[in-house]
Amino acid sequence: MVRRSTALWLLLATCAGITLFLVKHEVQEREDRLNALHSEILDNQEAIQVLKAEWSYLNRPERLERLIREFSEERPADRLQRATLDMLPQPLNSDGEAPLTEAAHIGGIVLPMARPVTVGAPQ
């Protein structure tokens, strides 16, 4: 009996030893992989830094302006063409002709709606 339990313990100890050894190896392998990944990340960050600088360089306002002139229509947007939402005429609602505001249908007549302010036509 004593011999059998001794053998069992011995077996267990051997198994534990082998497992420990394998785990240890696995951990080492993963650490190596981690290190490799870390240095790769640092390399990539360096590359990103270079790309950021290049992006900023390519986004020089002077260059963008030149490209716009080159590739878009020759008519620059007129600053007076800007409008805000509340300068637009009021929309009709979905089910019919009734405008959203009450003031617009006094006596059943649709009144002229707010129009964008004109700031003098450019020459």
Partner 1 sequence: MTHTRIDINDIPKPDKTVRIEGTGRQALEQGRTRLLIAGSVFALAFCVIAARVVDVSVFDRGAEPNLAQESSNLAHKTGRADIVDRNGMLLATTLSVPSLYADPKSVMDPVEAADKLRTVLPELEREDLLAKLASDKRFIWIKRNLTPRQQYDINRLGVPGLYFQKESKRIYPQGRLTAHIIGRAGFDDIGLSGIEKSHDSLLRDGSEPLRLSIDLRVQHILREELQTQIDAFDGIGAAGIVLDTDTSEIVAMVSLPDFDPNRRDQISDDALFNRASLGVYEMGSTFKIFNTAMALDYGTTSLSGGYDASKPIRIARFTISDYHAKNRWLSVPEIFMYSSNVGSVKMALDVGGERQRAFMEKLGFLKASAIELPERGFPMAPSPWRPINTMTISFGHGIAVSPVHLANGVAAMVNGGIHRPATLLRRASDELLVGERIIKEETSAAVRRLLRLVVENGTGRNASAEGYLVGGKTGTAEKPGQGGAYRRKALLSSFVGVFPVTAPRYVVLAMVDEPKGNKSSFGYATGGWVAAPAVKRIVERAAPLLNVAPVDEDAPEIRRALMVKIPEPKGNKALASF
Per rule CB under 8 A, is residue 14 in the interface with partner 1? no
Pick 8 or 80: Cβ nearer partner 1:
80
CA–CA distances in Å: residue 92 to residues 3, 16, 86: 97, 80, 14
The yes or no reply on residue 75 touching partner 1 (CB under 8 A) is no
Task: Kindly tell me which of 38 and 105 has the beta carbon lying closer to partner 1.
Answer: 38
The piece of 2-10, 32-40, 88-96, 104-112 that touches partner 1 (CB under 8 A) is: 32-40
Q: Name the minimum Å distance from CB 86 to partner 1.
A: 11
Determine how many CB atoms are found less than 10 A away from the CB of residue 83.
Answer: 10
Q: Which of residues 104-123 bind partner 1 (CB under 8 A)?
A: 117-120, 122
Interaction between residue 42 and partner 1 (CB under 8 A): yes
Site for partner 1, rule CB under 8 A: 20-21, 24, 31-32, 34-35, 38-39, 41-42, 45-47, 49-50, 52-57, 59-62, 65, 79-80, 82, 84, 117-120, 122
